[in-house]
Each structure stands twice: as structure tokens, then as C-alpha cells.
Amino acid sequence: MLFHSKNITLKDGTQALLRSPRIEDAQSLLDYLKTTAGETEFVLKYPEECTMTVEQEERFIQSINDSPTNIMIVCEIDGRIAGNCSMSIGGRMKIRHRGSVAIALYQEFWGRGIGTKLFEALIAIGREKGLLQLELEFLEGNERGRALYEKMGFEVVAVKPDAYCLKDGSLRKEYMMMKKL
């Protein structure tokens, strides 16, 4: 699914562009994924698990853009990808009313309002598509993310104990949140 590009102004006055990813973004998105996976433990993968090739990422971007049920939005600042978000809509009849969302930003762009703008876009798309709810999961300890999700109207609906095992052997809960549209 394609996103119609939108210019936004961040909290600090910086201009940014929300848009669909392009094939030529493949290397930048791979670099972004690997870097953000190393900047925080709250991303699902570790950097060494980010092993897609540029060609695989190009195919992934094309599949997202061609999909009727999946969308990715990147935030571009001064020609550089600062972060992205995605939504997958349930494909089966019984879950077509649900959208699963995810978001990540380079750490240097945290606190500038990008997450809010990305969530506003996802919420609008969810409503356009007739979804009844949006869902997300986050890792115990991600208080910054949780604050954003709660600000955007998400509420914790379930907790899965010991859902993540970090490299140091510690186990963390996973929280599931939902927002009714």
C-alpha cells in the first residue's frame, strides 16, 4: 500500500517528509535497521540478525508498496531516513478489523515529535480502511515507547511473561496494547 507523501513540521521547527519507501532506499533502510537494533534493546532484532541483502530489501519494499494490506511510512529529514513505521492489516475475514503497528527511529531523532506524526498517519489510515482497532507489542522497560503509545490512545490489554530472552540471559515481559478506532 502506498502512502501519499506529507510534509510535516517537527516540535523543533524542522521540516520532514512522510512517504512510502522507495526501491533506492534499500541500503539506507538496511543501515537504519542494523543501527537502530544496536541503539536499543527494544527493537526485536539484534544487529547481527539484520542479514538481508540489498536485493532482498528491494523486493521487500516492492512487496509492501504493492500490498493491499501492508504499509510502511518513512520519515525523511534533509534527505536522510530518520525512522519508519508500518502497519499490517489482518488478511483473514475474522481478523480483518485489526491492524498491527510497529515503529522505530534513530536515537538521535527521539523526542522531536516524529513518533506522534507517524502514529497519527497510521491511525488515519486505519480509520480509512475501516479497521476497528490497532495493536502493538513492546518490551518491558521501554517506558519512552509506552508513554508515546499511551499518548496516542493505546492501552495495555495483555502481558506475556518471559517473552524475550536478552543476550545477558535476562527475561523480559512483552506488553500487548490496543487502541479502538
Query: Is residue 144 within 8 Å of 116, Cβ to Cβ?
Result: no
**Averaged confidence pLDDT in the chain:** 96
Query: Is residue 178 within 8 Å of 126, Cβ to Cβ?
Result: no
- How many other CB atoms are there within 10 angstroms of residue 90's CB atom? 15
Q: Are strands 133-139 and 155-165 parallel, antiparallel or unpaired?
A: unpaired
- At 38 the pLDDT is 94
Angle between helices 114-128 and 143-151 (to 10 degrees): 50
- How many other CB atoms are there within 10 angstroms of residue 108's CB atom? 10
- At 91 the pLDDT is 85
What cell was used for 126? 486505519
Q: Tell me the domain boundaries of the chain.
A: 6-135
* Residues in the chain, pLDDT under 50: none
Fold assignment, 6-135: Aminopeptidase (3.40.630)
**Closest Cα to residue 69, out of 93, 96, 33, 40?**
96
